[in-house]
């Protein structure tokens, strides 16, 4: 019996095929009718795709059934320690290290005792023109979950 392709191995095949085909992440997201940030995270191994989505991606990228199977699997979520050396991912960690405690205080002040869900959650990215250089706008949109005692 052939072992199941790991999520990371499938992600590498997806990235390579996407580049070879000259497709953007947004184009792939549009092909499966899903948000671009979610789609990119899923194809990099952080979310499972539905059978229909996995089949559509593999058809678009000319990838085989082993990749399709892997794309449908539940992931082990988290950050690979090697990725912490990537400057973009490091900056997100740095921003949350600096602003996380302030955001926590402001969430508690505005909503009460609870948390922002990362399960009932949307994330988006946009470009905003600025005279000093374009700005990256990241929006986290999570449901407030109050602690119940």
Q: What span, in angstroms and rounded, lies between the C-alpha atoms of 95 and 137?
A: 13
Annotated active-site residue 59? The verdict is no
> Looking at 50, 59, 117, 135, which residue is catalytic?
117
CA-to-CA separations, 64 to 10, 40, 58, 100, in angstroms, rounded: 10, 19, 7, 41
Which residue in 17, 20, 42, 22 sits closest to 32, CA to CA? Answer: 42
Q: 2 and 31 in contact (C-beta within 8 Å)?
A: no
Annotated active-site residue 117? The verdict is yes
> Looking at 59, 94, 105, 135, which residue is catalytic?
94
Annotated active-site residue 91? The verdict is yes
Q: Enumerate the H helices of 1-149 as residue ranges.
A: 7-21, 25-31, 36-43, 51-61, 65-71, 87-111
> Looking at 20, 77, 91, 135, which residue is catalytic?
91
Q: What is the largest CA-CA distance in the chain?
A: 58
Residues with catalytic function: 91, 94, 117
């Amino acid at each position: 019996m052939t072992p199941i392709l790991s999520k990371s191995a499938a992600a590498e095949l997806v990235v390579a095929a996407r580049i070879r085909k000259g497709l953007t992440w947004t184009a792939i997201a549009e092909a499966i009718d899903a948000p671009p940030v979610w789609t990119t995270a899923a194809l990099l191994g952080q979310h499972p795709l539905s059978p229909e989505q996995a089949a559509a991606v593999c058809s678009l990228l000319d990838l085989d059934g082993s990749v399709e199977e892997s794309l449908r699997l539940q992931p082990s979520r988290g950050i690979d320690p090697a990725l912490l050396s990537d400057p973009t991912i490091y900056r997100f960690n740095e921003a949350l290290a600096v602003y996380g405690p302030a955001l926590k205080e402001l969430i508690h002040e505005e909503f009460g005792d609870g948390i922002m869900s990362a399960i009932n959650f949307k994330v988006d990215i946009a470009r905003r023109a600025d005279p000093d250089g374009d700005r990256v706008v990241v929006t986290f949109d999570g449901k407030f979950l109050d602690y119940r005692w």
